[in-house]
Amino acid sequence: MMKTLVVKHANSPTSYPIFIEQGLLKNLFWLPKHIQQIVIITDNKVKKLYAQNLLKSLQKTKKKVLLLSFPSGEKAKNYQMKHKLEQKILSKHFDRDAFILALGGGVVGDIAGFIAATYMRGISYIQIPTTLLAMVDSSIGGKTSINTSLGKNLIGAFWHPSSVIIDLHCLKTLPQKHLINGLIEALKIFIIYDKNSFQFFEKNIHDILNGEAASHQIIFSAIRLKSQIVTQDEREKHLRSILNFGHTIGHALETLSNYRLLHGIAVGYGILVESKISEILGMLSRADYFKISQLLMKLGIHPKKLKTFNLQKIIALTQLDKKAKEEKAKYVLLKKIGKIHHKSKQFAFDVPNKVIEHAFFAVSEMTNAGK
Ligand code: GLY
């Protein structure tokens, strides 16, 4: 049965629906009737899987449609690619009434959303996430961006989609490592905001990895929680920054791996280190750290892998992160599972390098028993 959530930002007129159901790419009820010009932006993998069929369905409606695709992967999310795609759209004379359909994973959503934000000073777009990571995180909340050689997502804009279409059927073609990539972002939301969902994840990990019903429940809970957080803080001035838990270290690892490490996997390692920092600072209990690390290990996050990274390079990159202030990296810290540490409206904090070093070595020396 179709589930619908509405993202309604506090103190702002912005509001848009999220539709969740199997088969939404076949039933185009969500496409506003008045749209006459459509640009589908996708990557080369999703083009074959879904975009060509979507193009055919749209062509039957006699609308003007353009399908653009680019190589899949985070490396394509750059200035040059944005420019190339924009030139193609301009050369086909799409005007400011055009609509973009961002069909794909987080990379497609980010670059297509950023094109929508700037094309003719801003046009409408619809997020159609096809990966679990994009469904539970990047398609919701209006963040759009590209990467630069100095770091991830450093250039971008807040630009909200007019709707988010989640066709759960797309998960059937998703490779296991991409499923885990998305599950880690869902788990992150539970760790920072909802103990009950964390416990559900813990109890049902086997079914989540293998069966549909449990994973659908996880997806719905993660989307509901993410929507609740972003609606309270549209532009990440306070509460929304808790979504960056695991990301200060995670983004640095992703950049250092030259994007060979998938985003969610990098965030998994980031969660391990940042939970350990919280434990060392006396905020998080050892028991909660143990539960988090055990669950991550079941998802294939093996602490020893951290040894392959140079900690000083990680620390240097965290200072360039867009969450950094005056070149000081900021960390979201955990109080217990389901609750982050905050001081009135401050949700991210400086951490001395010594504590980061201690946490990093403690995690990378950790055995599978999690000690
Ligand atoms: N992905 C974090 C956020 O949307 O704020």
> Domain of 359: which CATH number?
1.20.1090.10
Do 14 and 117 fall within a single domain?
yes
Residue 137 CA, closest ligand 1 atom number: 1
Residue 326 appears among annotated catalytic residues? no
Domain count, the chain: 2
The per-residue pLDDT for 212 is: 74
Integer Cα distance of 268 and 204 in angstroms: 19
Q: Is the CB of 132 under 6 A from ligand 1?
A: no
The per-residue pLDDT for 308 is: 94
Q: What CATH number does the domain containing 164 carry?
A: 3.40.50.1970
User: In testing the pocket of ligand 1, which one of 18, 135, 136, 143 has its CB within 8 Å of the most ligand atoms?
Assistant: 143
Do 166 and 213 fall within a single domain?
no
Domain edge (last residue) among 173, 203, 229: 173
Integer Cα distance of 164 and 143 in angstroms: 13
Residue 371 lies in a domain: no
The per-residue pLDDT for 367 is: 62
The per-residue pLDDT for 157 is: 97
Domain edge (last residue) among 158, 173, 188: 173
User: Using the 8-state DSSP alphabet, how is residue 102 labeled?
Assistant: E
Task: Give the residue from 240, 248, 234, 267 showing the smallest Cα distance to 342.
Answer: 240
Residue 143 CA, closest ligand 1 atom number: 4
Residue 151 lies in a domain: yes
Residues paired with residue 66 on neighbouring β-strands, in sequence order? 39
Do 135 and 111 fall within a single domain?
yes
Decide the pairing of beta strands 15-21 and 163-167: parallel
Higher pLDDT, 126 or 320: 126
Integer Cα distance of 11 and 142 in angstroms: 16
Domain edge (last residue) among 157, 173, 189: 173
Burial 82-108 (b: 16+ CB within 10 A, else e): beebeeebeeeebeeebbbbbbbbbbb
Q: Is the CB of 188 under 6 A from ligand 1?
A: no
Domain housing 339:
176-364
Do 72 and 189 fall within a single domain?
no
Do 275 and 199 fall within a single domain?
yes
On the question of pLDDT at 241 being above 80, the answer is: yes
Higher pLDDT, 258 or 333: 333
Residue 343 lies in a domain: yes
Q: Say if CB 30 and CB 19 are below 8 A apart.
A: yes
Global confidence as pTM: 0.94
Q: Say if CB 340 and CB 243 are below 8 A apart.
A: no
